[in-house]
Amino acid sequence: MKVVIIGGVAGGATAAARLRRLDEKAQIIILERSGYISYANCGLPYYIGGEITQRSALTLQTPESFWQRFRIEARVRNEVLAIHPAEKRVTVRRLEDQTVYEESYDKLILSPGAKPVRPPLPGIEDQRIFTLRNVEDTFAIHDFIEQSEPRRAVVVGGGFIGLEMAENLTGLGIQTTLVERLPQVMAPLDFDMACSVHAYLREKGVCLRLGESVSGFEPDEKELLVQLEGKEPLPADLVILAIGVAPDTALAREAGLTLGLKGAIVVNSRMQTSDPDIYAVGDAVESTQFVSGTKTLAALAGPANKQGRIAADNLCGRESHYHGVQGSAVLKLFDMTVASTGLNEAAACGAGIAFDKTITFSASHATYYPGASNMTVKTLFSPETGKLLGAQIVGFDGVDKRIDVLAAAVRSGLTGEELTELELAYAPPYSSAKDPVNMAGYVIENIRSGLVRQYHWHDIPSLPRDGSVTLLDVRTQAEYARGHIDGAANIPLDSLRERLQELEPGKPVYVNCHSGLRSYIACRILTQHGFDCYNLSGGYRFYAAVLQEQADYRPAHPCGLPI
């Protein structure tokens, strides 16, 4: 069997290595347009920022190492110009000398990846404007910074690459502005969870221009003016375009393969395209969202690796299937960690999936052990079955391990109540006896059992202020004095039982505290004394963080509800 693989990196290189482990006799050829067959794509911003210091550290495999270990022929700087499915051959151009040749195949695997979106804006060809997708891009940006010593940078786009570049440029002492057309960074997060990320970025010196769009670039000898729609231009010495990627599927289109969402290659669960002898993997393929069942794109290394392995299995006669992408992701942002898995509110609404949500505020480890930090955990679940739909976490220590537990729980179809049964490793330096994951489960259990009812930050503006309901803040007087919900009375929790007569029976009571814990206790007291009580999810600190952002940005509710 002769297998030709177009593209290396995560999907193509994984498929090649798996093929060799399964079939020692197969002839395997990788054709890679760039000069690097397998590299640490996710590590590229950290080389620019100086966290990774050796260029060689970015290269996971070379053509020489591939041949020595696997007897796989990896041809770099060989660009495939066309696929001829009927003849089972490809046309290839050697970029070193521009010679063109034909290569036959028995089976073909496409792993072309995705290409950075580069819209045809005025001035976009200026040499100070970069995209970051491969090793060559990385070295170009790194060398430009060393040679030109830019003082000001503009990063366009608030996704993973944009945020990582903003962090690393700031770390180099470059004054950095991030422009994002949406009212938030990190689209996998809901707006409310992104608010604390915004505050932290500003604290670290990154200038955020949210809800603004770049319309073009005006170059001159000294600086580059980044034009904004309806705003004053931003002066820059360096621009990073990080506004997303698009599936690189021109070859597949010209070969007549079936394409789907945003031009991505349609594959079945065996990673087989509409041509039975052609498989496709990685950023260029259309995937199924594991939780919702909707079609989606996932430019993530983990899914690409899995898909490459599955394609190789099926080529070698092993029944292997890909069951969908969950979208689990984590981002380091200075000292902060941002992570998500499964559906957010917008995705659940778009798929027509009913959901409820909890916001919990937990310490990374036992608070009596030094160094504990808090994390905000948002969990989405089915109100009917309790099945977990997704989770988002923003915090510092321990975020990564909690999102991994929740990702496994979502994949396994666990309910919120079943989170309470997870026996997770505990020692004071690492966790608490009730882990943050357990705590999210306890809250879901309380809600679904009717032990407590909740309201959310976006419900507060619509609460009547005509005296028909009671707004109650059970924090201390000092906390209340520093800021509170308009119209809320203050009765500290520890004196609530003695002051129940101050509350009018028959009126619903909407309670809040700092994080939602004391107000939950207050609701249990009030409910058992006959009051109709509701607890503010996430507490006043979560509401205040969102309120501060809403002063400047007015996002629509993901389900079209009023805010």
* Three-state DSSP class for residue 311: helix
Alpha-carbon gap, residue 559 to 248, rounded angstroms? 32
Residues ≥6 apart with Cβ < 8 Å to 55: 47, 139
Report the 3 state secondary structure along 254-301: HCCCCECHHHCECCCCCCECCCCCEEECHHHECEEECCCCCEECCCCH
CA dihedral sign of residues 368, 372, 376, 380: negative
Determine which helix (DSSP H) or strand (DSSP E) holds 442, and give its type and residue range: helix 436-449
Alpha-carbon gap, residue 392 to 399, rounded angstroms? 10
Active site residue 559: no
Alpha-carbon gap, residue 104 to 123, rounded angstroms? 42
| Catalytic hit among 42, 207, 316, 349 | 42
Determine which helix (DSSP H) or strand (DSSP E) holds 44, and give its type and residue range: helix 44-48
Residue 352, burial from CB neighbour count under 10 angstroms (0-12, 13-18, 19+): exposed
Q: Which amino acid is at 446?
A: N
How far lies 147's CA from each of 150, 261, 456, in Å? 9, 41, 51
At residue 511's C-alpha, the angle toward residues 505 and 514, to 5°, is 155
Phi, psi of 265 (to 5 degrees): -75, 130
Report the 3 state secondary structure along 174-194: CEEEEEECCCCCCCCCCHHHH
Cβ-based neighbour number of residue 29 at 10 Å: 19
Enzyme catalytic residues: 42
